[in-house]
Chains A and B, each alone.
Chain A
Amino acid sequence: MNLAQFLPLRIRFESQLAWRHLRSGGNQTWLTVAAVASGVIVVVFIMGLIFGLQKRLSSLLTDSIPHVTIRVPQGKPIPFGDTPSGAGTISSSLSEMQAPQRKNIDDWRTVLSVASAIPNVRAVTPAVFGQGFASKGANPVGLTVTGADPTQQELISPITKNLISGHYQGLAADEVVIEYQNAKDLNVGVGDRIRITSISGIPEPLRIAGIYSKGQGAGSAYVTLRTGQSMLSIGNSVNVVYVKVFDIYGADAVAERLSVLLDCDVKSWSSEFPSFVTSLRAQSASAYLISGFTLIASSFAIASVLIVSVQRKSKQIGILKSIGARSDQILLVFMLEGLGIAIAGSVSGAITGMAVIYLLSLPKQAPLRFGGVPEPVFPVTLDPIYILAAMGAAIAATVLAAMLPARSAAKMNPVDALR
């Protein structure tokens, strides 16, 4: 079957001739396609590696923390001289933090409904959070206590998947889940009873329902919301509302929106880890730069090959013009030739690049934390968006590279070409 019959008549001649050029080009065509493919492979590889690394670092950091934290407003610093006790006695250059008027979020249900209605918000969880220490006999260990509904808390900071033993879901009011390091320091295991005393000074005897490890050192002890409220003596209030978002880089916008809507202190994860965000951005910029330069380099190679090809075909261009081919038809022939090379190169490059990324993802290293699963040596990722973007950029760069020789072919004077 002749596939050319399916092409529109307007471009049938140009497409057929471009295809014949590519077919008859032999090694030159293969080398040009390989140049585009190499560019795409490098871009897919670099993107896969750098964004994979970013994904791992980001997930290590942000998977286990809330993306936005809502607390009662902190007091503003005021000059000490302006306070009633300090007036006229001490220099006004000294200042102290105003004591907060509120300690808890009493109307947290309103906060939940406001936060849930904001786009990009994935989960909202009310919680109580405070300092305390755990003891078993005469062995106190400092820790933080988080009281929240286990199902909702899982959405904010996954515990179950990091459990070494025991359970978190279905946590009873007299149970607690503690971090592996704390369990080790206390020399306790699942089923043992410990006593946790919060800053309010109320000791709470709790049975260890589970032990988890995130590989990030000592972490919080998790109890139910009711137990947490009781330990901190805050009635039915909470002192923090956690928000998880879909797009972690959109957390700032969510935080800003919540600041406007709520009379609360709202912070996004990125404002708490600014240097981490900066380094991620620097990594992204490096990846884009390397990819850009790679594509530019392969474009130059392609342009030079196509320029030579046009020179070699100058007599053919002359004869085509002498028998009635218009300049725009000649331009289209060479542009389609470039497009053919671009499509073949980018598709083969993307397939090879994906294969390389897949092979790189296979080697595993020993788990970084106790009870963890083996992690890949190369934290690569295969994101269809980046692969399509790499293909699109390679096609655009190649077609642009083809434009210069195609234009010179179109402008060629037939008399000079045939001479």
Chain B
Amino acid sequence: MNSAPGQLVIETAGLQKTYGGKVPTPVLFGIDLRVRAGEFVAIIGQSGSGKSTLLNILGALDVPTEGTVKIDGVDISTLTEDGLAMLRSKVVGFVFQQHFLLAELTCLENALLPIIIQTGAATAEETEWISKLLKRVGLEDQIDKSPDTMSGGQNQRCAIVRALANRPKLVLADEPTGNLDSRSGEEVFRLMREMSTEIGVAFVMVTHDERLAHQADRILLIEDGLMRQLTKEEHRLQMGS
């Protein structure tokens, strides 16, 4: 399922988003973004700058007010609700600030969830693949445990495996280390970075942690609804200031 290196996974052109209501609130003004397979992109910006809104649109959870969004070459505006669900299921993986694991399921069942939703049951091969991933992130002892009995870092690692379960082309991570202590945060980030390289999946991570962002392949800054790419030097200077 993963894309060939260099293949465009995300392509947006003139993406705008305005929230309705009594007073319309524009959030994003013409975002042009391209993300290729295997890239690790960090999006930074102030709270309320529209980072999460952009991430929701890139994950086909929300639709833009203007502009086009292509995920794996498919214009999401042409898809029905079921089509969007299918796209999310096959192409996109999500990691949120909170792990959002289902308390009713074990660690392994949570990680298998995207497969089970799609096909009803996981094959032996798929279960083996997920077990390997869980082992890879150090959760081999937690496979049959409930999320309630696992630590925050362990839960977030399980959530990363869940995001990778369907071998997606793109993983969108919305402040995945935001709820973790610095050590666990570092560990989770390192795992995502390694997965991106090992599996060849594109990662787009929204973060407030400048140190982690600095380790991404590209750093994108959203300011006043507009996005621009920062060089490592610009970002270092920004971190210093």
Q: Is residue A10 within 8 Å, beta carbon to beta carbon, of the partner chain?
A: yes
- B56, B81, B82, B104: the one within 8 Å of A23 (CB): B104
Task: Note all chain A residues with C-beta closer than 8 A to B121.
Answer: 4-5, 9, 12-13
Task: Note all chain B residues with C-beta closer than 8 A to A17.
Answer: 102, 104
Q: Is residue A20 within 8 Å, beta carbon to beta carbon, of the partner chain?
A: yes
Complex Cα–Cα for A21 and B105 (A): 10
Q: Is residue B118 within 8 Å, beta carbon to beta carbon, of the partner chain?
A: yes
Q: Is residue B88 within 8 Å, beta carbon to beta carbon, of the partner chain?
A: yes
CB closest chain-B residue, reference A328: B82
Q: If the complex has contacts A20-B104, A316-B102, are A323 and B94 also in contact, measured as CB distance less than 8 A?
A: yes
CB closest chain-A residue, reference B89: A324
Task: Note all chain B residues with C-beta closer than 8 A to A9.
Answer: 119-121
Task: Note all chain B residues with C-beta closer than 8 A to A327.
Answer: 81-82, 85
Q: If the complex has contacts A17-B104, A418-B96, are A324 and B61 also in contact, measured as CB distance less than 8 A?
A: no
Q: What count of chain B residues pass the 8 Å CB interface test?
A: 31
B105 touches A322 (CB 8 A): no
Task: Note all chain B residues with C-beta closer than 8 A to A188.
Answer: none
B104 touches A24 (CB 8 A): yes
Complex Cα–Cα for A327 and B81 (A): 8
CB closest chain-B residue, reference A327: B81
Query: Smallest distance from the beta carbon of A315 to chain B beta carbons, Å?
Result: 6
Q: Is residue B86 within 8 Å, beta carbon to beta carbon, of the partner chain?
A: yes
B100 touches A418 (CB 8 A): yes
Q: If the complex has contacts A21-B104, A24-B104, A414-B61, are A322 and B81 also in contact, measured as CB distance less than 8 A?
A: no
Q: If the complex has contacts A9-B120, A12-B121, are A323 and B114 also in contact, measured as CB distance less than 8 A?
A: yes
Contact with B along A287-305 (1 / 0, CB 8 A): 0000000000000000000
B88 touches A322 (CB 8 A): yes
A324 touches B117 (CB 8 A): yes
Q: What count of chain A residues pass the 8 Å CB interface test?
A: 30
Q: Is residue A355 within 8 Å, beta carbon to beta carbon, of the partner chain?
A: no
Interface positions, chain A 314-372, Cβ under 8 Å from B, are 315-316, 318-327, 329
Q: Is residue B103 within 8 Å, beta carbon to beta carbon, of the partner chain?
A: yes
Interface positions, chain A 1-59, Cβ under 8 Å from B, are 4-5, 8-13, 16-17, 20-21, 23-24
Task: Note all chain A residues with C-beta closer than 8 A to B86.
Answer: 324, 326
Interface centre among B59, B62, B85, B116 (most CB of A within 10 A): B85
Q: Is residue A415 within 8 Å, beta carbon to beta carbon, of the partner chain?
A: yes
Complex Cα–Cα for A359 and B29 (A): 75
Complex Cα–Cα for A254 and B32 (A): 84
B94 touches A322 (CB 8 A): yes
- B62, B105, B114: the one within 8 Å of A20 (CB): B105
Q: Is residue B16 within 8 Å, beta carbon to beta carbon, of the partner chain?
A: no
CB closest chain-B residue, reference A10: B120
Complex Cα–Cα for A100 and B161 (A): 98
Task: Note all chain A residues with C-beta closer than 8 A to B88.
Answer: 321-324
Task: Note all chain B residues with C-beta closer than 8 A to A20.
Answer: 102, 104-105
A326 touches B85 (CB 8 A): yes
B104 touches A319 (CB 8 A): no
Q: Is residue B204 within 8 Å, beta carbon to beta carbon, of the partner chain?
A: no
B120 touches A415 (CB 8 A): no
B117 touches A323 (CB 8 A): yes
Query: Smallest distance from the beta carbon of B115 to chain A beta carbons, Å?
Result: 10
Q: If the complex has contacts A13-B116, A315-B100, A316-B102, are A323 and B89 also in contact, measured as CB distance less than 8 A?
A: yes
B61 touches A326 (CB 8 A): no
Interface centre among A9, A11, A23, A325 (most CB of B within 10 A): A325
Contact with A along B201-226 (1 / 0, CB 8 A): 00000000000000000000000000
Query: Smallest distance from the beta carbon of A24 to chain B beta carbons, Å?
Result: 5
CB closest chain-B residue, reference A19: B104
Task: Note all chain B residues with C-beta closer than 8 A to A320.
Answer: 113, 117
CB closest chain-A residue, reference B83: A326
A321 touches B85 (CB 8 A): yes
Task: Note all chain B residues with C-beta closer than 8 A to A8.
Answer: 120
B104 touches A13 (CB 8 A): no
A324 touches B81 (CB 8 A): no
A324 touches B166 (CB 8 A): yes
Query: Smallest distance from the beta carbon of B85 to chain A beta carbons, Å?
Result: 5
Task: Note all chain A residues with C-beta closer than 8 A to B166.
Answer: 324
Complex Cα–Cα for A323 and B163 (A): 8
Q: What are 8 residue pairs bridging A and B, where the CB atoms are less than 8 Å apart in the complex?
A: A21-B104, A23-B104, A24-B103, A316-B100, A323-B94, A323-B117, A324-B88, A326-B81
The 5 closest A-B pairs by CB, nearest first: A324-B89, A9-B120, A20-B104, A319-B100, A12-B120
Residue positions of A touching B, CB distance < 8 A: 4-5, 8-13, 16-17, 20-21, 23-24, 315-316, 318-327, 329, 414-415, 418
With A326-B81, A326-B85 known, 18 other A-B pairs at CB within 8 A are A5-B121, A9-B121, A13-B117, A20-B102, A20-B105, A316-B102, A318-B100, A319-B94, A319-B102, A320-B117, A322-B61, A324-B88, A324-B90, A324-B114, A325-B89, A326-B82, A326-B86, A418-B96
